[in-house]
Amino acid sequence: MSQVLAQKIKDKQAVIGIIGMGYVGLPLMSAFVKAGFRTMGFDIDDRKIQMLKAGQSYIKHIDAPFIAQLIREGRFDPTSDLSRMGESDVLIICVPTPLNDTRDPDLSYVSGTAESIAKTLRKDQLVILESTTYPTTTRDVVLPILTKTGLKMGEDFFLAFSPEREDPGNPKFSAAGIPKVVGGMDPVSGDLAESLYSQAIVQVIRVSSAEIAEACKILENTYRCVNIALVNELKVLFDRMGIDVWEVIDAAKTKPFGFQAFYPGPGLGGHCIPIDPFYLTWLARRYGLTTRFIELAGEVNTRMPEYVITQLMTFLNEQGKPLKGSKVAVLGAAYKKDVDDPRESPSFVLMEHLLARGAELSYNDPHVPSLPKVRHHNLPAMDSQPLTPEYLAAQDCVLISTDHSAYDYDFIVKHSRMVLDTRNATKNVKEGREKVFKA
């Protein structure tokens, strides 16, 4: 083992470099700083770097005053200069792993980051991949790039995988409070990574290889994807039967064993659950297998936005209105409640369907003031509209896509002509229920 690096980690003298200052990297930096480490933050988006240097935060649950304090005290050094990565003793990769247009894994961010690391890779550095990906990525993609330097893994530098486990908007679990799975490419790398995370994270679960750690993350997200697909499919059936699926779930979850509640919605969102299972299906094809269960779940979840639009058209028709020309306000652009993260949000798919069918579209989201440009969606520039009584009354339908806690649902229902609720957000609203439809 590198006794030098091991001692630096133990003494909290190791400099932690985190590559990717997004929803994973920035909270992770916070965890290491609070544990007593000095950190560097790398990102090719210079806008983010300049904001951080100015003591500003672009992520809701990371406070700007905290960032400003770290900058003043020299405990956090954000930079877009990737040639400085040699200054860090540990480099943790937290870059996106999206799907391409054919829904195959796009590892260009991971491989590009590995190429940048290789340019400054030195002895006694530990590299950890946290980006969610398919099993064997660390071994087959990252390792060959780093070994082209002539340095030997396990002797000169060290390599491990530890899947990120962020839950944005959940106040119960910060990055430091979520147990961390760690798998090394060799025992020495695993030891170093385990020692590192043990300094900053509440619990470390050591597994026997990087592949086990990679597969662990895919299993976690596929489990959620499949179970959400189940309740989405039941929702469509129960709607046809006149049965309230949310009441069914509330009743079922009273069982103290053998059941975990999952809830339907207008589609899947976020950077993990809509994407990660497709990594597994792609990998299965490489091994000559098909993952029919997972692919079916993906199909069910992908169809939900269109089901919502079909329901909307039905309810509008009952009032003698076509969707074309109707004013529709979408409430919520973020992919889940109480966050400012719009990645893979089903709201974008709903908006595209509405525009394609000629609706007059607007939106409101207290956490997303303007629609960002996102991959795979070509929406016009729009700003969040204030939820005034006049604005709500002017809409033919208010479509609740994200059930933010900041919304006053009694107020929304009172002033709206029609509310289409995809999240059961209006369940406690008593007055005006005749205007509320569930989808």
**Catalytic residue list:** 272
Q: Is the Cβ–Cβ distance between 119 and 156 less than 8 Å?
A: no
d(CA 58, CA 240): 43
Cβ neighbours of residue 91 closer than 8 Å, sequence gap 6 or more = 17, 18, 19, 85, 117, 125, 126, 127, 128
Q: Is the Cβ–Cβ distance between 309 and 324 less than 8 Å?
A: no
Q: Is the Cβ–Cβ distance between 121 and 149 less than 8 Å?
A: yes
CA distances from 267 to 157, 165, 240, 405 (A): 43, 21, 19, 19
d(CA 360, CA 365): 17
d(CA 345, CA 25): 20
d(CA 224, CA 230): 10
Cβ neighbours of residue 46 closer than 8 Å, sequence gap 6 or more = 80
Please tell me whether residue 17 adopts helix, strand or coil conformation: strand
DSSP conformation letters of 346-409: HHHHHHHHHHHTT-EEEEE-TT-SBPPP-TT--PPP-BPPP--HHHHHT-SEEEE-S--TT--H
Give φ, ψ of 115 to 5 degrees: -60, -40
Q: What letters, b where the CB count within 10 A reaches 16 and e where it falls short, cover 294-324?
A: beebbebbebbbebbbebbbebbeeeebebe
Q: Which uninterrupted H or E stretch holds 38?
A: strand 38-42
Please tell me whether residue 276 adopts helix, strand or coil conformation: helix
d(CA 314, CA 78): 52
CA distances from 240 to 62, 151, 235, 236, 245 (A): 43, 63, 9, 6, 11
